[in-house]
Amino acid sequence: MSAPSATIRDTLKICQDLKDIKMPIKEFIIHFLTGKHIELATCPCFWATNTGYKSTLQVVECIRDTFENSADGQGWWADFIQQEAVRILVQNNHRMSCSTGHFQSSKLVRPEFFSKAAKVKQEEQMVQQEMPFLYGILMGMLKNGEDPSATGDVEDSDSKTCTSPNEPISGPSDTFEAQLLERNGITYVPNSGGQDQVSCRWHHMAATICAQFLFARNRRHNGLQLHNAIQFLPCGVLERVNNYLHTLGLTSSRKTAIAALQTLSSHAAEDAKAVMSLDCSPEIGPFLCINNLDIEEEVHAVSVTDCSMMFHGTWGYVQLPSKTILDLLDKSELNLRAYQQPIKDVSSMQIN
């Protein structure tokens, strides 16, 4: 048996000295860290500084390893870590309870609030400033300490590409195609492979859960919820389903969504007037189009004098004539007479 090293000998000597004065080692450590005497207070003063963080965490890791050596110890350690995590999250709740967060009034909402850039900015603020601790826990659990590509869960993500806050948004080179995709709410993003897609999906899952918790603690954090409510309404989500999602913190109430749409309609009316002015298109004006027409009259907010009516599942948009096509036309033939003559022939037109 080899002789113990100098460090081991010094450690054994200190343990023997503590045993001689009948002071348990853990009691000594507690007094060493919490003692109010001037000499004791200055000893661990660098433990929680830049010069001592790593070595202090090594001490904590050694204590963790001691607990992990037995099943009972693992349970005690898990309970302790859970209590500490709850304490940190509760502190964050107190801080966020007085915050206005991502609050957006349905009476003052503007179309820019629903843009991709605004959504990414809200998400970044939430995961980096407001809920970084919970977001980190969720992402760590989803990653499971492994590379996303090693999970084997890539097949089901090939059909849908998701974006992360730092991922640039791209679109087709053709202007007309880009206009059609924008009108239908479709956005192309670079497909960077299965691993990145899985990471993106995990990011959106964790960010959505954080948004749910923020909304549950403070209803003024309603950015994601209002965005979803505006999307769910024209997509035909039933009010009963919307109420269930509202209970889960995923969407705002149907009444809030209708109020927001009424506010947005005033902005849309001004945009339509500007687009259809003669200064913008003197030859042929744009077309007002209604797509996916599924008329349904429904009362959403019952009252004595007020009720709401809507085209359920309907999308309206303004179609601008292609400038490329207009340049090929004879401007002298673009007049009212050229329009009226074909209209007269409609009654006698035969359709095969």
List per-residue pLDDT tens for the chain, 352 residues long: 566 788 888 888 888 888 899 989 888 888 888 888 887 777 788 888 888 889 999 999 999 999 999 999 999 999 999 999 999 998 888 777 666 666 888 888 888 888 888 888 888 888 888 889 999 999 999 988 665 444 444 444 444 445 444 454 555 565 655 655 555 555 555 555 566 788 888 999 999 999 999 898 888 888 899 999 988 887 778 889 999 999 999 999 999 999 998 888 888 888 888 888 877 766 777 888 776 655 555 566 666 555 655 555 556 778 888 888 888 888 888 888 888 888 888 888 887 7
Total number of domains in the chain: 1
In a domain? residue 75: yes
Residue 329 in any domain: the answer is no
Q: CA-CA distance, 119 to 227, in Å (whole number)?
A: 9
Q: Report yes or no on 54 lying in a domain.
A: yes
Q: Is residue 261 part of a domain?
A: no
Domain of 11 in residue numbering reads as: 6-93
Question: What size, in residues, is the chain?
Answer: 352
Residues 6+ apart with CB under 8 A from 270: none
The verdict on residue 63 lying in a domain is yes
- What token pair was written down for 257? 């969504």
β-sheet bridge partners, residue 188: 170
Instruction: Establish if 78 belongs to a structural domain.
Output: yes
Q: What pLDDT score was predicted for residue 333?
A: 80
**Domain contains 101:** no
Taking the model in full, what pTM does it have?
0.66
In a domain, 83, yes or no: yes
The predicted pLDDT at position 228 comes to: 92
